[in-house]
Amino acid sequence: MILLDGKQYSKKLKEALKIKATQLIETNKVTPGLAIVLVGNNPASQIYVRNKIKDAAFCNIYAELFLEDENISQEKLVKLVQKLNKDDRFHGIIVQLPLPKGLDEQAIIDTIDEAKDVDGFGTINKGKLFCGMKAMESATPKGIIKLLDEYKINLTGMNACVVGRSNIVGKPMALMLLNKNATVTICHSKTKDLGTITKRADLLIVAVGKDRFIKADMVKEGAVVVDVGTNRIDGKLYGDVDFAEVAPKTSYITPVPGGVGPLTICTLLENTLIAYENILKTKKGE
Ligand SMILES: NC(=O)c1ccc[n+]([C@@H]2O[C@H](COP(=O)([O-])OP(=O)(O)OC[C@H]3O[C@@H](n4cnc5c(N)ncnc54)[C@H](OP(=O)(O)O)[C@@H]3O)[C@@H](O)[C@H]2O)c1
């Protein structure tokens, strides 16, 4: 069994992003900028945002936090995003999810200019991904594709199973695998006989949000297993895969922590540099 070491790979990616950002600043005399909108005081969101700002600073990307009260109205939040769309300092905008109840998440995300939608959660970018067109790809599934690539795991013709069909992980993950020529099955809470389906998979990607949910008898001998889940139990982080019993059966597996998580921020920052280059090219009329 080989560990898919996302932590190690993310260090390498961040170094590369830092070099790229420095070169872009030298050439264009413009610093790449990322606006992060955080509403309310969800403790997990606060940690994610803090890490995004820290990693952006490391990579020479200017990140600014827009902290809003949890009682902010839909209209005021939409106005803030519209203002950020027009602000030339920012090439990427993200609205940290989840938003407090009462706010229409998708409507707010869809207010973000398509070119600045570096989380790739907007309907236009998701639609482009669906059509196999060039799109701003969601950070977590994009990071997983990069990690599999780094370990030279060839997805063509692979029998892949994605457990989970959320709009931010499961569905875009399945589409990205399909665009990489894997044969994809998507499972969810209504799937019958889940274990029989997951056991057929050469590549099993799990994004369910249930602590150690996937057991050894649900996994094929020699499968590649990617665990997206992050479940905090008594202060300790566990994945959706029961690592202790599943890992010995696999050819490759991601640990939790240190697997998928560290890559998500890297791909978000990579998307910010892609957005920067696209926006500057459009401005120059290229
Ligand atoms: N490491 C990272 O960077 C990162 C990023 C994003 C998310 N995550 C983690 O990944 C996990 C999933 O996140 P998410 O946002 O995709 O979650 P989500 O929106 O809650 O979606 C969970 C999915 O799991 C499915 N599901 C629930 N119970 C199931 C069962 N018994 N059998 C099969 N499928 C089942 C649900 O099916 P239905 O659609 O039928 O309800 C749903 O599609 C969470 O632990 C989250 O914290 C990690």
pLDDT tens digits, 89-138: 999 999 999 999 999 999 999 999 999 999 999 999 999 999 999 999 99
* pLDDT (0 to 100) of residue 23: 98
User: What is the number of alpha carbons within 13 Å of residue 210 lying toward its C-beta?
Assistant: 9
* pLDDT (0 to 100) of residue 27: 97
CA distance 275 to 24: 12
Secondary structure class of 33 (helix, strand, coil): strand
* Helix count and strand count (H, E) for the chain: 10, 11
What is the distance in A from the centroid of ligand 1 to the CA of 257?
17
Kindly list the protein residues whose Cβ atom lies closer than 6 A to any atom of ligand 1. 140, 163-166, 168-170, 187-191, 194, 207-210, 228-231, 260-261, 264
Residue whose CB lies within 8 A of the most ligand 1 atoms, among 42, 142, 171, 230, for a mutation test: 230
CA distance 175 to 186: 10
One-letter amino acid for residue 237 of the chain: L
* pLDDT (0 to 100) of residue 285: 87
* pLDDT (0 to 100) of residue 28: 97
pLDDT tens digits, 82-101: 999 999 999 999 999 999 99
In this structure, the dihedral spanned by the alpha carbons of residues 219, 147, 143 and 55, taken in order and rounded to 10 degrees, is: 130
* pLDDT (0 to 100) of residue 286: 76
Q: CA nearest 162: which of 188, 128, 126?
A: 188
Q: Where are the domains of the chain?
A: 28-128, 139-261
Tell me the average confidence (pLDDT) per consecutive run of 10 residues in the chain, 286 residues long.
98 98 98 98 93 97 98 98 98 97 97 98 96 95 98 98 97 97 98 98 98 98 98 94 98 97 96 98 88
Residue whose CB lies within 8 A of the most ligand 1 atoms, among 228, 264, 267, 271, for a mutation test: 228
226 membership: H or E segment, kind and range: strand 224-227
Give the pair of three-digit tokens for residue 182: 């894997």
Yes or no: domain 28-128 corresponds to CATH 3.40.30.10 = no
pTM score, two decimals? 0.96
CATH class of 139-261: alpha beta
* pLDDT (0 to 100) of residue 156: 98
